[in-house]
Amino acid sequence: MSYFFSSVSISLISTVAMNALRSIFALNRSNPLRGCSALSATCMLCSTIIFAAAANAEVIFINDQSVESHVARLRSQVIPRDSQGYLVPSAQERADFRSLADGLWNAGSTTDLNQLVPLAQSLDYDVIRLSDAGSTYFGLQESNTGADRKGWGSFLLRQGDASNALVQVPHPLNDINTPSISAQAFVDSNARGLLIAGAHRNANGQGTADVAHLTESVFHEVHQSFVENASDLSVWQIHGFNIDLHPEFPAGIDAVISSGTGSVTEFVLGLDQRIDNLPGDWTSHTYNTLNLNDPLNIATNEDLAGSTFSSLAATTNIQQQHITSLGGQFVHVELEQSFRIDGGDFARQLISQSIADAISSSVTAVPEPNSVAIVVLLSGWIALTRRRTQ
């Protein structure tokens, strides 16, 4: 088992050992038997100090970083593409991490967090407590920052009152700027949790660390833990795409939203409408399997079939399959480079705030069915009006 030692503990051990050894060498010259006994006693003392330092290892407090800057640092440590640096977790490691994630979810104090430290350290992870702008977050991050990183990911949970939602970043390197957009949406929405993958999706080759499609990952273990420990939780997973690789899409599309099931939920509709109503010429569409003339398809796609966007449908996404099998809500958010790169900080702020607003409204004030119907009909009428005037 690996342990975290403070600089004070290391300094104490070194000082004790060096002073003791100097005395032993001096004593050994005059009395060899007493010198050997002293050496044995010194070894026992050092072992005791080491054991005490390990037993008293504590939570790491982070008070000098915002969530956004913390996520930026984590992103810089993600295992890169084709590096062969991603360590596939064993079944036992996944089971241990599931227990660790369960403990993190149920922790209500620093004392509770301290009880998680031995298990976390056995997995080469630190337990952290981050304070930012009056909010407190408990989390898990890799202890190693160099070549020994495993690429399993980092996880944060907001303490106190929070929206019952998780924001997830499965492709922090491949989908450029999704970590920063997600971090901002997480903070502004008051969401409960943030999950960030620790490796490029192709770290060891094509798809070898693609946590959105791997059941045997620590990321998925944490997802399952958080979802199954909560009730009525929604998951908002942020991705990125390049329209040049999707010739089937209409020109100028900036986002594709999907529930992964073929339906247009109020969560999907809410974000789609927010993007369409942003200042400027921003356009969102939804993947769905509805009839072309269904009011929900008209509201989100106008005269396009929802199947047009099947390449970004999230139908095989394993986090989607898991949460929807339990009756939860999944929102798959695909952002074109226009939002993530080309539009600069302004566009990233726009979309992160839109996602945050959609999360906040969906978990705090879900409209009654009649209200949803009115919104759908009104949105459909507006879309038809736009179509006639074009």
Beta strand extents in the chain (DSSP E only) = 60-62, 125-132, 135-142, 154-158, 163-169, 191-196, 234-241, 255-258, 284-286, 329-336
pLDDT number for residue 278: 97
Among residues 21, 38, 55, which one ends one of the domains? 55
How many domains, the chain?
2
Q: What is the pLDDT of residue 389?
A: 41
pLDDT at 294: 98
Whole-angstrom distance, CA of residue 254 vs CA of residue 114? 44
CA dihedral over 367, 370, 373, 375, signed as positive or negative:
negative
| CA dihedral sign of residues 340, 345, 347, 352 | positive
- CB atoms < 10 A from the CB of 315, how many? 16
What is the structure's pLDDT at 362?
79
Q: 156 with 51, same domain?
A: no
Within this chain, do residues 39 and 74 fall inside the same structural domain, yes or no? no
Q: Is residue 2 assigned to a domain?
A: no
Asked if residue 73 belongs to a domain, the reply is yes
- Parallel, antiparallel or unpaired: strands 135-142 and 125-132: antiparallel
The 3-state DSSP class for residue 384 equals helix
In three-state form (DSSP H/G/I as H, E/B as E, the rest C), the secondary structure along 244-279 is HHCCCCCCCCCEEEECCCCCCCHHHHHHHHHHHCCC
Residue 289 sits in the same domain as residue 232:
yes
What is the domain extent for residue 26?
A: 7-55
Average pLDDT for runs of 10 along the chain of length 390 = 34 43 48 49 44 62 96 97 98 98 97 97 98 97 91 98 96 98 98 98 98 98 97 95 97 97 98 96 97 98 97 98 97 98 98 97 48 46 43
Q: Would strands 329-336 and 255-258 be described as parallel, antiparallel, or unpaired?
A: antiparallel
Residues 44, 167 share a domain: no
- pTM score: 0.82
The separation between the first and the last C-alpha atoms of the chain, rounded to the nearest angstrom, is 67
Per-residue pLDDT at 146: 82
Query: Could you tell me if residue 141 is inside a domain?
Result: yes
End-of-domain residue from the set 55, 76, 94: 55
**71 within a domain of the structure (yes/no):** yes
pLDDT at position 363: 60
Do 188 and 262 have their domain in common?
yes
Q: Please tell me whether residues 234 and 87 are part of one structural domain.
A: yes
Regarding whether 23 and 69 lie in a shared domain, the answer is: no
Query: In this structure, is residue 1 part of a structural domain?
Result: no
- Domain end: 55, 73, 93, which one? 55
Structure tokens belonging to residue 47: 């072992």
